[in-house]
Structures are given as structure tokens and as C-alpha cells.
Amino acid sequence: MRIGIVFHKDPYAPPSGIDLVRLRAIAGGLIRRGIRVEIISSVEKEGVLDGFIPVCGLSVLSETGRYDLIKTCYHPSILLADRYRGPIVARIVRVVDRKFPERDAQFRDKLLHSQEIIRSRAAVVVLNNAENRERWSALYGENPPTVLVPTGCSAEIPPASTNPYQPGERAILFLGSLAAPRMVQTLNSAAKRLSGVARIHLVGLNKACMYGGEEGCRLDPAVVDHGELRESEIWDYIRHAKIGLALATGPYPFDNDVSKVLNYLRGGLQVLSEEPIVNNDLIRKTGLGRVFKYGDLDDLVTAALDLLKNPRDEKKESAMRLMVEEHSWDRRTEVYVNLFSRILSTPHADP
């Protein structure tokens, strides 16, 4: 089996965001199962990631017979695959229509264009959750078929090292991107309300201004901003925090598939998460944390104080074990192996 994974960003960048973490995890997992995999991107030079994952330029997509199948990763990835004539598995994070998500207004036409190409070219569309599968089916029907491959987490994490927080500090960690102005405003308000009790730390990027202009996108000094860190560096921030905070981009579950929830639980950190987030079922299943009402700052603060006073320590080990056994990247890779095998065993007409 020969698989190409088309990626629209720089694959050589440090794995700090979920896009590059997922790329390396899935590509590496497939290779470890004996599948020949290459990452394909608009790079000037061929190279290798993590010592064993080949990276090639886009020109290889024109080579007849080089790949049995290619997988694209996000909306823009499909635009890079126009030279390829074989079967395509196309994955997208959230389905866009003419109205929602509202925060995608300036990108809407390009995203819809990508979805039309995916509809016409993909053998299968991969989605993270049932909410987006329902949206895709409502817009495009059942052809191409859809498959769910949720976000995963690392089975192996680095051993504990130093505490990155101040001595005696009770840290509330927000890991990942701030992707809407409301998230920044909520984080700022919570940091000020909890001042003197706990400090909120951001490990990630503030991208809110991409989705709503400059107003309301600045972090308050009460939030400690560490910037973006490599995936290998985040685990001590998770281990030594008291709470992992997850905020919604808006009120719609389909736009709130939040990978940080899985990382918090994998690291044994109790989670405080906002109601529309689709991964909240994991918090309820493990019992390691609380869910607060959407847009309700009082409920957020009350829940945070409860978790600080009454930590769910007895749930930690079972939650960590569940994440490894059921939600690791290895489990997600298994789904792709089965999916690719099924597609390649079925005759396909040339596109």
C-alpha cells in the first residue's frame, strides 16, 4: 500500500499546533504498520520528519503509479491535489455552509469552493464528529460516503520534568489557539475574576483577530502568555496545572471540536469545559472535570473554584488509561488502515 498525505502548510515547522501533531502521528503510525507513506507539500527540498517520515514536493503527484491513494488533511489541501488522478480520502475539520460558522465569513467562498472539489473528487470524506457528518450529508448527500476519525492523543508522553509555574501557584491552563474574539474576552474576564485565587496561563497562539478584527482581541495582563510551544514541551504545563480550560468559539457544537480536552485528560488534568464543546462527553465519562454553561462567566468561576477546592484526583489514573486505550493516535491510525484497505479493494472509475 502506497499512501501520499497532502498537507497545505510547512511540514517542517515545529509540531506545536494540532495540525502538525496530527500529521506526524498519523503518517508515523501508518509507516510503523508497514505502509509506505510520504507527506506531500509545496516544499522546495525533499526531506525527512522525525527521522523516518519522507517529505516530497507537489510534483510527485504527477507520477503515474507512485501512490495507490492520497489523503488530504484540511480544506486547502484538496487544492494542491489537482494533478493526482487516483482515489482521494479528504478530511476536513468543520463543514461550512452559506451562513455558518459566522466567524468564517471572510474565508467562506474559498472554503465552499474546496468542499465542492471534495464532493466531486473524494472517494470518502473523513470528519471528526457526528455533528459535522450530519452537516455534510445535509449539504451534499451520501455520495461520497463519510467516515468518522476523531481527534486523538499521544499514547506515550515524556517523563515529568520541572514545574513551569511559580512556586505555590495554582495554575489554570488554556492550551492551544484562541480562535474567536469571545474566547479572548472570556479568558480575560475569568483571569481577572480569579485573580488572587489562581492564574490563567495561555500556551498557544491568539488568532482571534483573524476572525473578527482588532476589537476585543487583546489579552489582559492578568493572563500569562507563554506563546506557542512544541508538543513535547506542553506536558509539564499539563501535569503541574490544577485545571485545563476549554472555551467554545461560539454556540454551535459542530464548530467546537476541541483537541485540548483529549490532551488534558491524557495528562491527568481535570478539565473545565464550556457546554457546546463536542468532546465534553469524555469529561462526563471520565468524571475528571466539569462542564459550565455557555457564555456564563459566573458558572465558569464557580466551577473553577469547586475544582480547585475539591479536585477529582481519584479519577486521574482511570482517565489517563482510557485515553491511551481508546483515544490514542494508534487507534485513529487503525481506522485509516482499515479504510484505505477497503477503498483499494473496491474498483474505482478514473475521475
Region 18-34 average pLDDT: 97
What does the pLDDT look like over 269-278, one tens digit per residue? Answer: 999 999 999 9
pLDDT at position 230 over 90: yes
Confidence of residue 217 (pLDDT cuts 50, 70, 90): confident
Q: Tell me, what amino acid is at 233?
A: E
Confidence of residue 213 (pLDDT cuts 50, 70, 90): low
Predicted local confidence at residue 261, as pLDDT: 98
User: What are residue 81's phi and psi, to 5 degrees?
Assistant: -100, 20
What does the pLDDT look like over 133-182, one tens digit per residue? Answer: 999 999 999 999 999 999 999 999 999 999 999 999 999 999 999 999 99
Intrachain domains 2-152+328-344 and 171-326 with the same fold = yes
User: What are residue 127's phi and psi, to 5 degrees?
Assistant: -130, 155
In the chain, domain spans: 2-152+328-344, 171-326
**CATH code that applies to domain 171-326:** 3.40.50.2000
The mean predicted confidence, pLDDT, of the chain is 95
Q: What is the Cα–Cα distance from 203 to 238, expressed in whole angstroms?
A: 10
pLDDT at position 351 over 60: no
Quote the cell numbers at residue 287: 468524571
DSSP symbol at 100:
-
What are the b/e assignments for 50-79, b being 16+ CB within 10 Å? eeebbbbebebbeeeebbbbbbbbbbbbbe
Confidence of residue 346 (pLDDT cuts 50, 70, 90): confident
pLDDT at position 132 over 80: yes
Alpha helices in the chain (DSSP H): 18-32, 108-121, 130-140, 181-193, 235-240, 260-266, 280-286, 297-309, 316-327, 329-344
Q: What is the Cα–Cα distance from 3 to 343, expressed in whole angstroms?
A: 12
Predicted local confidence at residue 349, as pLDDT: 47
pLDDT at position 314 over 80: yes
CATH superfamily of 2-152+328-344: Glycogen Phosphorylase B; (3.40.50.2000)
Report how far apart, in Å, the C-alpha atoms of 238 and of each of 78, 79, 172, 289 are.
34, 36, 9, 14
Let me know: does 294 contact 251? Beta carbons within 8 Å: yes
Let me know: does 124 contact 146? Beta carbons within 8 Å: yes
Predicted local confidence at residue 315, as pLDDT: 98
Q: What is the Cα–Cα distance from 41 to 176, expressed in whole angstroms?
A: 24
Let me know: does 171 contact 165? Beta carbons within 8 Å: yes
pLDDT at position 210 over 90: no
Confidence of residue 43 (pLDDT cuts 50, 70, 90): very high
